Amino acid sequence: MTSKVTKKVSDDGFGEYVNGSPLNVPLDSGIKNPAKFTKAVKTDSAFGKSRTRLEQIHQLDQLKVTYGPESDEDMENYLIFEQDLKFFRYFGNILGVDMEFYWKPGFLFCVSLLLLFVIVSQLTYTQYVHIKNHNYYRILETLACYGITISMVLKIVTFLKSFHAIRALLNSTIKVCKANDSGCRAAKIRDRLLYNSRFYMWTTIVVMASITIFLAYPTKAFLVDHELVSLLPIEYIFVDSSTLSGFITANLISSLLGAFANVGTVYAILMIVSLILNYSVFVDMFEEDVKYLDEMWSRESNTTVTYRHSFLRNMCRKQQDINAYVVEIKRLLDDYIFHYFIASYLGQIICLFQIVVSDWKSGYAIAYGMFLEMMFYCLMGTKISSENERIMTALQQSNWYLYDQHTQNVFLTLWVASTNANEMWIGPLAPLSVLTGTDVVKSIYSYYNIMLEVV
């Protein structure tokens, strides 16, 4: 469901009636563009889910705000954001997916589903062959591949369920970029978007390195050592891997499947990382609001007390919307992250075990890919926690003691609400953080050693 705003042109020259939420248009400066109270206006949020705070109608006073021509800074910020989305789209086009409301399954998406079916069917066939030949150690190699296969299934299911909501979340960030189009706010958004762009590029390089690791050893063994080393421990139907032509055919299929999994992983990580890094944009603007509130109360200002109270009330709405943004991310990703961690955890243990027991060098790439994705998610969980702490720090370091009694009471409510900020969790197990990721890695290594001792 696309977001929409009910518009009404006024007689006194103001452009539109808009919601005071930061996901539409925030309150402008009371000096250059004074806001006036108007009737409440029904507004659909950018999120598109009625369960979230952003779908509720603000029943309190709404703010009437002027629109001016787009500035160069506004256009620059928008272009940076669009360039990032275009970069994501390169990988999405390979998979046949796109984070757009009008997206529909096409030929390339059907090819992606076909490749996923090939992986699952051939892994099942390989398990049958190993069980039939009583080659039980080889079964573990195939089980290790199930970790990344389950991950791909989860990615596709999550995309089909959530791409409308994810697009709406991205649109909410675009609205903030366009609404804060001048001065220090625009400069701060630009710096944040440039930082995000560099992080996306670095993330892509690191994740794409796994395909190099995946191909390196078997290719070197074939070209230099003249050994036939399979990329994946999979027996393909109608392909005899014991012959040279069959070996080359099997490795070509494995290369295609590996590249497909790698591109899917890059795209999923980029989209999840972008949602969480965009959260920083909202926090940046909230910090600017706190600073501006301090300025209004710490110096002679031609803003009225009524305006200051309305500004703080608007900040409370922004805080609710910021919290709702995280709630929406949790709704979209909590199940995916929980099931991914289970599959990745078991897959990495079996991978490491088979690398040592069977000298399965290609397993390093699979273990590396699963570990890397897991740690990226842990890093993003920590990022949300750190941004929540930034909100608390901004409130604590404000000059609240200069406010009047009414403002202090409302500000206290705002501070208490900020102490109950939402965080990402790995299902019911533990908070999603780098510390939890470290504990998971220790646990993987412990169970890996236990398996070696038992064998």
Paired tokens of 328:
């929406």
Nearest to 275, CA basis, from 205, 210, 336: 336
Tell me the C-alpha distance between 290 and 295, whole Å.
Answer: 9
Are the C-beta atoms of 241 and 247 separated by less than 8 Å?
A: yes
The pLDDT value given to residue 110: 92
428 pLDDT tier (thresholds 50, 70, 90): confident
Q: For a pLDDT cut of 90, what percent of the chain falls above it?
A: 11
The pairing of strands 425-426 and 36-38 is: unpaired
The pLDDT value given to residue 378: 92
Residue pLDDT, tens place only, 322-349:
888 999 999 988 889 999 999 888 888 8
Torsion of CA 165, 170, 171, 172, to 10 degrees: 90
The alpha-helical segments, DSSP class H, found in 299-362 are 305-357
Cβ-based neighbours of 403, under 8 Å, separated by 6 or more: 293, 297, 411
Say if residue 126's pLDDT is above 50: yes
The pLDDT value given to residue 36: 36
The pLDDT value given to residue 200: 93
3-state secondary structure of 99: coil
Token look-up 């909410």 returns 172
The pLDDT value given to residue 45: 38
The pLDDT value given to residue 201: 92
Least confident of 201-210, 296-305, 427-436: 296-305
Say if residue 161's pLDDT is above 80: yes
Report which of residues 164 and 6 the model is more confident about: 164
The pLDDT value given to residue 74: 53
Q: Where are the domains of the chain?
A: 71-454
3-state secondary structure of 64: strand
Paired tokens of 455:
């064998």
pTM as predicted: 0.78
Tell me the C-alpha distance between 123 and 290, whole Å.
Answer: 56
Say if residue 455's pLDDT is above 80: no
Residue pLDDT, tens place only, 50-101:
333 333 333 332 333 333 444 555 567 788 888 888 999 999 899 988 888 8
What average pLDDT does this structure show over 249-266? 88
Cβ-based neighbours of 95, under 8 Å, separated by 6 or more: 108, 109, 112, 260, 263, 264, 267
Token look-up 């796109």 returns 98
Tell me the C-alpha distance between 317 and 386, whole Å.
Answer: 21
The pLDDT value given to residue 361: 78
The pLDDT value given to residue 198: 92
What's the one-letter identity of residue 166? I
Residue pLDDT, tens place only, 172-222:
888 888 887 777 888 888 899 999 999 999 989 988 888 888 888 888 888
The pLDDT value given to residue 72: 53
Count of other CB atoms within 10 angstroms of residue 242 = 7
Are the C-beta atoms of 270 and 95 separated by less than 8 Å?
A: no
Say if residue 39's pLDDT is above 60: no
> Within 13 Å, how many C-alpha atoms sit on residue 310's CB side?
22
